[in-house]
Amino acid sequence: MQLRKVTAASAAVLALALSATACGSGDKDDSGSSGGGKIKIGIKFDQPGLGLKKPDGTYAGFDVDVATYVAKQLGYAPDKIEWVETKSADRENALARGDVKFIAATYSITDERKAKVDFAGPYLLAHQDLLVKTGSDIAKGTDLNGKKLCSVTGSTSAQNVQKSIAPKAQLKELSSYSECIAGLQSGAVDAVTTDDSILAGFASQEQYKGKFKLAGLKLSNENYGVGVKKGDTATVDKINKALEKMVSDGSWQKAVEANFGPADYKNEPAPKIGVIVPNAS
Ligand code: GLU
Ligand 1 centre from 44 Cα, in Å? 10
Return the residue whose CA atom lies nearest to atom 5 of ligand 1.
155
Q: Please tell me the distance between residue 95's alpha carbon and the centre of ligand 1 in angstroms.
A: 16
**pLDDT the model gives residue 144:** 95
Alpha-carbon distance 224 to 77, whole Å?
23
Coarse DSSP helix, strand, coil percentages of the chain, rounded to the nearest 5 percent: 40, 20, 40
The predicted pLDDT at position 32 comes to 72
Tell me which residue has its CA closest to atom 6 in ligand 1: 106
Per-residue pLDDT tens over the stretch 97-116 = 999 999 999 999 999 999 99
Angle separating helix axes 251-260 and 233-248, nearest 10 degrees: 80
| Range 141-170 average pLDDT | 95
Sorted by where each starts, the structural domains of the chain and their CATH numbers stand as 39-125+221-263 (3.40.190.10), 128-214 (3.40.190.10)
Could you tell me the distance, in angstroms and rounded to a whole number, from the CA of residue 149 to the centre of ligand 1?
16
Cα 89 to ligand 1 centroid, rounded to whole Å:
9
Separation of 184 CA from ligand 1 center, angstroms? Answer: 19
Q: What is the pLDDT of residue 17?
A: 40
Pocket of ligand 1 (CB under 6 A): 88, 105-108, 152, 155-157, 194-195, 222
Mean pLDDT, rounded, for 267-275? 97
Pocket test for ligand 1, best of 195, 199, 279 (most atoms within 8 A of CB): 195
- Comparing 16-20, 33-37, 48-52, 138-142, the range with the smallest average pLDDT is 16-20
Q: Judge contact between 207 and 80, C-beta under 8 A.
A: no
Whether 217 contacts 140, CB under 8 Å: yes
Looking at the DSSP bridge assignments, the partners of residue 149 are 171, 191
Supply the pLDDT for residue 90.
Answer: 98
Q: How far apart are CA 118 and CA 233, in angstroms?
A: 8
pLDDT at 36: 73
What is the Å distance from ligand 1's center to 28 Cα? 29
Write the CA distances from 37 to 21, 75, 103, 164, integer angstroms. Answer: 17, 9, 18, 46
pLDDT category of residue 280 using cuts at 50, 70 and 90: confident
Of 129 and 11, the structure prediction assigns the larger pLDDT to 129
Contacts of 252 (CB under 8 A, 6+ apart): 66, 123, 243, 246, 270
Establish how many alpha carbons lie within 13 A of residue 257's alpha carbon, considering only the half-sphere containing its beta carbon: 5
Among the listed residues 62, 191, 185, the one whose alpha carbon sits nearest the alpha carbon of residue 131: 191
In the predicted structure, residue 35 carries a pLDDT above the cut 90 = no
Q: What is the average pLDDT across 160-168?
A: 94
Which atom, in ligand 1's list, is nearest to the CA of 194? Answer: 5
User: Residue 222 CA: which ligand 1 atom is closest?
Assistant: 1
- Mutation probe of ligand 1 site: the residue of 152, 180, 268 with most atoms within 8 A of C-beta: 152
For the CA of 159, the closest atom of ligand 1 is 10
Question: 173-219 pLDDT, tens per residue?
Answer: 999 999 999 999 999 999 999 999 999 999 999 999 999 999 999 99
Q: Which atom of ligand 1 approaches the CA of 106 most closely?
A: 9
Tell me the whole-structure pTM to 2 decimals: 0.88
CB burial of 179-196 (b: ≥16 within 10 Å; e: otherwise) equals ebbebbeeeebbbbbbbb
Using only C-alpha atoms, the chain has a radius of gyration, in whole angstroms, of: 21
57-103 pLDDT, tens digit each: 999 999 999 999 999 999 999 999 999 999 999 999 999 999 999 99
Q: Could you tell which of 198, 219, 221, 224 is best to mutate to test the pocket of ligand 1, judged by most ligand atoms within 8 Å of the CB?
A: 198
Q: Which residue type, as a one-letter code, is found at position 81?
A: I
